[in-house]
Structure 1
Amino acid sequence: MGNAGKYSQDAVLRARVLLLGSEEPSLRERLDAYRVLAEVSPRAYLPKLVDALIERAHWLDDPQLHLALYAEAVVAARRIDLDAPNRGERLGQALSGYEHRLFAAGRRAEGRAVCEELAEAGRYGRLAVVLAEEGRHGEAADLLGRHVAPGDADVSAWTLIEWAAALDAAGRHEEALEVFARVVDEARRKAADDRAPLASLVWKSEQYARMLRAAGRPADEAAARRETLGLLGRLARGGEPVNWSNIQASWVTLLVLSGRPGEPAATPDAPLPAFGVHPVHGWSPDVREEYVASIPELERQTDALRESGDLPGLIAAQRRLTVRRALHWETSGRRAEESLLPSFDEGVNLARRPNAGPGALVRALTDRSMFLLAVKRYEEAHADFAEATTLQPIVTRT
């Protein structure tokens, strides 16, 4: 019967009367009643208690209360009988909410432990992200690889991009290219059947070209860029054949991924975002907050570099700043292109200066082209990419 001595019989009776009354009790009243009854009738009321705790957390804004409610929900979910219906789903939901709040509170070690428990139950996604955030890219790639079957048609493009990014960061470039080729192939099939916008294929094709370049495969890179140029030309001539509203998350995720080489290496003591993972639905809240919060410091750095005359340093810092601004622009709900376009314009203007360094203008024009595509300015996007393509052979030989 559970710990019947924890509550008096009067408390148990009041709880039963409240729930059986003619008036619907409030969520807070139900929660208090379930806490009492879960001690005397755990099989019947522990599931209700878990559901009520999670619902209560959903309606509150206090991070500390969130953490306490999810911690209580985890304890309650673990007490549910192993053969009870939906026990695994309830425990998984409680653990997921709990780890999210632990990371938000900066308690990464505890959050990682919860993610490891989730992975043991088959919910491996968050652990893969956490491993990547801490620079353990090979482990993240292996974890994803154990769960993504070769040729599995049901795996999402997001998962494949994450897997390819982890492989690439681990130095396993050929494996990464094989995985990302699946992303591009599927995007081609969907675009050919008008089941997905051409813009999505363009962004993926451009990222694939970046990876080919990093892997030292210039001929394949050139072929990928020719495909991208052809797609942009088609968009410039006839527009997007498929209606779409908000797919900019794909663009900004791949843009942020392209900026990883300019960031320091992640470690368990100095975690960074899991580049290649959706920044809203994937990154841990602590690293996402720190990444965006670094914008003011990068603004100060770029101002100082402008004064110093260090053009290569300025170009590198300005791109890191632009990538962060793009992420903030996409995730904050602000869609006024005029607020972000000047950052891409400045990148191009800096790269046009003498001594900017090989490849700087190609990269800046490509960055701006992909943004212009995101805001449906197709002719300008094509013009930028066409100019970048004319410069690419020179860069390839250097």
Structure 2
Amino acid sequence: MRHAEMFAALALAASLAAGPAHAQQVIKIGVVGPLTGAFAAGGQSQITGAEMRAKEINAQGGPYKIELFSEDDASNCDQSVNATVKLVTRENVVAVLGALNSPCALAMVPITKRYKTPQFTPGVGAAITKQGSEWVFRIAVGAEGQTKALADFTVNKLGEKKIAVLYSDDEYGASMANGFKTALAALGVQPVAFESFPRADQDFTGQLSKAKQAGATALYAVGAYTASALIAKQAKALGMNLKLLGDTGNATPKYIELGGEAVEGAVVMEPFTPVDPDPKVQEFVKRYKDQYGRDPDGWVAEMYDTVGIIHAAVTKAGKADRQVVRDYAASLKPGTAYTGILGQWTFDATGEAQFPLYKVEIKDGKKVIVGR
């Protein structure tokens, strides 16, 4: 199926269960993410998470139905910007969900600010919420929160002190690597190696050799999950026995699939994990798996809840309006939180959300919770 046809099919599926069109008003939501290219698995999580919640809302038959408009940016930031302009000016969406990649989410911020359109992004790059825009909300734990939690677990729980850091030289990689370095410093630890690589690189033997010479016993690789999996394989080929560390970008099932035995024993962070035995989580996992044939990940849960937040905003105000959605999201504070699959949603003054993060270890190709 061509991508344009797939987008149309998803939008249609999200509205089919709505009942008679004359009985409902439409809430138009745009989704910008990579449905093709190296990050396509993340883009699929975006759209399926949003679609699943939209179908549930539409099936309820209330006064509002959700209509999704998806645009594939293929992880190209120019395409992200163009997609955003199209969704805002042509489709007249009340909010844009995206982009997945931090550099692309950052590139979208001036556009959503100019058109006064709420932007909900899972991008974790630190700069995204520091542009002076009241229209951007991060629907993930940002670089500072993630790296503090990861550093604390690495040093105080795993007992690792000789840690190497390899990171992609973009907004995402630099934010996470520098945040991790700062968090380690607060614990009295300095990385034994701190090496960057071009975003599209596929040969990491030079950086890994430096880490090996420095005596690293643990490795935090941050970049695309495809790169992190490849780094794990190349480290293994070099005979390095490392405790692999990862942030939420490596929590996707694709990281395990691509890394295979090389990522066995890796510890990754995620805001949602399908192995949580909580009945509410397991019921959500079953519903998602029945529809899409795989386990949901953090991106699925984040997008699912965000569609719910937008619907709640419009329902409360009685009109589908960008300002209404923005003001409702900004009003979510302790005591007035939105309750979703990820728990209690609140945003601070800069649009940052906070969730407790699971620490999961990959054992026999499966995730096992080792902390929270």
TM-score (structure 1 length as normaliser): 0.24
TM-score (structure 2 length as normaliser): 0.25
In proportion to residue count, which structure has more helix?
A: 1
Larger radius of gyration: 1
- The answer to which structure, 1 or 2, has the higher relative contact order (CA under 8 A, 6+ apart) is 2
